Amino acid sequence: MDTDTSEDHIVRKNSSWWDRRTTAEKGLIVVLAITLLATVIVACLYIKSIKSKQSISSEESSTEENVCLSLGCVHTASNIIKYLDTSVNPCDDFYQFACGGFLQNTNIPDDELSISAHTDIQQNFLKKLKGILEEPTNPKDLKPFKLIRRLYKICMDTEAIENDEYETLIDSILKPLGGWPVLEDKFWKENVFNWKNLTYQLRKMGLSSRSFLNVYTSTDMANSSRHQIRLEEPVLSLNRDEYLEGFSNKAVKAYYDYMVDIAVILGADTSFARKEMKEALRFEIELGKLLPPIEESRNISAFYNPTAISELQKKYLTIRWLDFINNVIDLPDVKVKEDEIIDVSNPGFIEGLLRLLNKTPRRVQANYALFRTVHSTILYLTKEIKDRQQEYFNSVLGISEQLPRWKECTSVAVSRFYTAAGALYVRKYFDKEAKDDVTKIVMDIHSELNKTLEEIDWMDENTKSKAFEKADSMKFHIAYSDEFFNDKAVEDIYTKLTVASNNYLLFNLNLQRFTQDDSFSKLRKLVDKDDLSSHLPPISINAAYSPSSNAIDLPAGILQGVFFESDRPSYINYGGIGYVVGHEIVHGFDDQGRKFDKNGNLEEWWAKDTEKAFLQKAKCFATQYGNLKEPTTNMKLNGLNTQGENIADNGGIKLAYAAYQAWVERNGEEPTLPGLNYTQNQMFWIAAANTWCNKVRKETLAQLIPSDVHSPACFRVTIPFSNTESFAEDFNCPLGSKMNPKEKCQIW
């Protein structure tokens, strides 16, 4: 006898037809509705494909019986059709062909710099993380889980932030630092200021202490099992080329106006602020001119200069280097001595910095450094000052609105507690099937690397043997580590973290101090290449190759959407995530990665003739990309600066394609997608191109092109594909067409 008296089984006289259905009936109705909708979509797509007059020859076009009609296939086909612009001949411009529909029908949100084919992944992540962070705190929760939710809650309390105004910034930060001269006017005490002491104080407070020199702990490039202190130039706000143009540059002018307005908001007189900030910016411009041209940084060997502190002292007498470095480390149990070997990345910058400091008044130095300090805290301050920062971002990047508060707070909380956020996410949303499926794809592509190395004819046998060793030693961290389910492993990372204040600004400074302490505390410890915090967290929508670990991170965040889904054909997944995997693998053998051996150590393991052959082939890419102009800005690409990423793109797509062909040999061809009259091979290329459907603001592109190591999205499709003979064969592109040029570049 059915004794269930739940609401689903109680019929009310005035209830609607839907209300009178049982849970089971409602579920069945929903399933039937979805099935009907899928059928309608398939029919529409099929009709569209019949009507479409496409210029592509598809010798293996699908018959109706060989079309995949699953929900996964229908959904995939629907997205691809929306992205395509079939009025474009793919042999003329494959990016426009594969992404033209996306570009025409997609608008960049006012609070974003760009929008791409994987924006929906990011938005979905943020919504899920927001839900996790807004869950009630359980007393039994792990310490980091409580802290990340507490930070989110404090961030969302805008009333408390507004009530504080700038009291915490001025009373707890600027005044203890000796005051910001532009605010103090004639009351500022120049005789007590010293840029080194300011650096130490900033470090103690958890603020950025990198305004003059950047001191941090990194893996020793020559011995990847140990940590080392690295000394390098600061990361400045603008590009070197902008500093070279000075006040005539649009971005420099906008930056100057921003500096003045921030000082005025905090209480400075406008005319006085304009005078003071102009001198401060002049100092920063001179500092920026000391930076090396960005393409020079590709020569990683030139920026590895192991030097004993005692030798550094002999060369640059005006700084007591032992005291300086120990004061920046600022940990009682971590000290360096004069015989400590540190990496001085750019000795020339130090010489220039000391000359510049020697001729610059202390007041100017302080105004420069403390503006940078204030700038770094604005994210945690009032709407008034954040609005002015937003105006600056709008003028240089074209972004007109701030993120909604919940998105900003989610992003801040996650960035401060990456490991904790990753653990919270995978414990609720992990997908074991996706991890297993992607692992198979990774192994397939990795095996193609060995085949590629075997076929190369420009490598001598000894170098090739070491290349095989490096390839075989490569490690992969896919989706997430099982350690994210280990309470102790997650909690141990945050053992030394204590946060007493509920003030939003001070809370974040406390976290920054903790992060800095954690980094310096590793100086005397061996490098743990499997440490949770040393890899991309599961929530990252990215992938990365680490030369010092000879390892690739493929976090769970990127194993979805346009990159990968378990319920669609392999030609889509090999084109999507396969392109990403191939790209990261080839980074191990690009212009920088090739200089590291199988253990991640910087070493000369290439024979001279083989190295010469590589450099000649790399020069082909530098010239090819260097001759390109980005169509929106009409700016020329820097073929040297983007060389590593370009090599990875070109080699990566070939590895992914070869791996897919090997998969077909083992498993046979799969059905095609509904509404898409293309072969499986053609769909591979379309899927790969779809991952780079990307719309970026013109202002943002203008900032990226001079400095970004990546080429604009359109060239990450057209150039690698046009350098690949298989693409031209699959689309029957005539020799000499734009997508099948007579001259091609190739390394791997």
Domain shared by 636 and 708, yes or no: yes
31 within domain boundaries: yes
**pLDDT averaged over every residue in the chain:** 90
Domain shared by 19 and 71, yes or no: no
**Domain ranges, residue 572:** 61-117+444-473+563-748
Comparing 626 with 64, the larger pLDDT belongs to 626
CA distance 742 to 331: 61
Domain shared by 65 and 211, yes or no: no
CA distance 334 to 532: 23
CATH of the domain at 621: 3.40.390.10
Domain shared by 215 and 344, yes or no: yes
- pLDDT cut 70: percent of the chain above it: 91
Domain shared by 192 and 73, yes or no: no
Closest by CA position to 244, among listed 278, 291, 277: 291
Does pLDDT of 2 surpass 90? no
Q: What are phi and psi of 342, to 5 degrees?
A: -120, 165
pLDDT score for 584: 98
CA distance 472 to 671: 34
507 within domain boundaries: no
Catalytic residue among 276, 444, 590, 649: 649
User: pTM score > 0.85 for this model?
Assistant: yes
Look at the alpha carbons of 525, 528, 529, 534 in this order and tell me if their dihedral is positive or negative. Answer: negative
The pLDDT tens digits of the residues spanning 227-273 come to 999 999 998 999 999 999 999 999 999 999 999 999 999 999 999 99
Number of domains in the chain: 3
- Strand 475-479 versus strand 551-555 pairing type: parallel
CATH of the domain at 346: 1.10.1380.10
184 within domain boundaries: yes
DSSP, res 291: S
- Strand 114-116 versus strand 694-696 pairing type: antiparallel
Domain shared by 579 and 719, yes or no: yes
The pLDDT tens digits of the residues spanning 73-87 come to 999 999 999 999 999
Domain shared by 94 and 9, yes or no: no
pLDDT score for 26: 39
The pLDDT tens digits of the residues spanning 402-454 come to 999 999 999 999 999 999 999 999 999 877 888 999 999 999 999 999 999 99
Domain shared by 359 and 452, yes or no: no
DSSP, res 545: E
pLDDT score for 432: 83
pLDDT score for 7: 30
Look at the alpha carbons of 590, 593, 594, 595 in this order and tell me if their dihedral is positive or negative. Answer: positive
Domain closes at, from 32, 51, 70: 51
CB-count burial class (<10 Å; 0-12, 13-18, 19+) for 491: middle
pLDDT score for 45: 44
End-to-end CA distance of the chain: 71
Does pLDDT of 372 surpass 50? yes
pLDDT score for 587: 97
CA distance 577 to 570: 10
> pLDDT class for 664, splitting at 50, 70, 90?
very high
pLDDT score for 197: 97
Domain shared by 211 and 320, yes or no: yes
Q: What are phi and psi of 653, to 5 degrees?
A: -65, -35
693 within domain boundaries: yes
> pLDDT class for 533, splitting at 50, 70, 90?
confident
Q: How many CB atoms lie within 10 A of CB 212?
A: 19
CA distance 565 to 68: 15
Closest by CA position to 93, among listed 634, 746, 743, 740: 740
The pLDDT tens digits of the residues spanning 708-733 come to 999 999 999 999 999 999 999 999 99
Domain shared by 448 and 348, yes or no: no
> pLDDT class for 65, splitting at 50, 70, 90?
low
439 within domain boundaries: no
CB 416 within 8 A of CB 511: yes
> In whole angstroms, how far apart are CA 582 and each of 119, 446, 546, 589?
22, 8, 14, 11
Q: Please report how many Cα atoms fall inside a 13 Å half-sphere around the Cα of residue 37, on the Cβ side.
A: 9
The pLDDT tens digits of the residues spanning 85-108 come to 999 999 999 999 999 999 999 999
**Pair of tokens at residue 155:** 């961030």
Q: How many CB atoms lie within 10 A of CB 204?
A: 14
**Pair of tokens at residue 319:** 């700084």
Domain shared by 215 and 339, yes or no: yes
CA distance 641 to 737: 27
Is 649 one of the catalytic residues?
Answer: yes
Domain shared by 235 and 375, yes or no: yes
CB 227 within 8 A of CB 220: yes
465 within domain boundaries: yes
CA distance 182 to 259: 11
Catalytic residue among 85, 232, 437, 584: 584
CB 340 within 8 A of CB 306: no
pLDDT score for 59: 38
328 within domain boundaries: yes
Does pLDDT of 184 surpass 60? yes
CB 367 within 8 A of CB 180: yes
Is 7 one of the catalytic residues?
Answer: no
416 within domain boundaries: no
CA distance 511 to 499: 8
Residues in the chain: 748
CA distance 121 to 115: 11
- Strand 214-219 versus strand 306-308 pairing type: unpaired
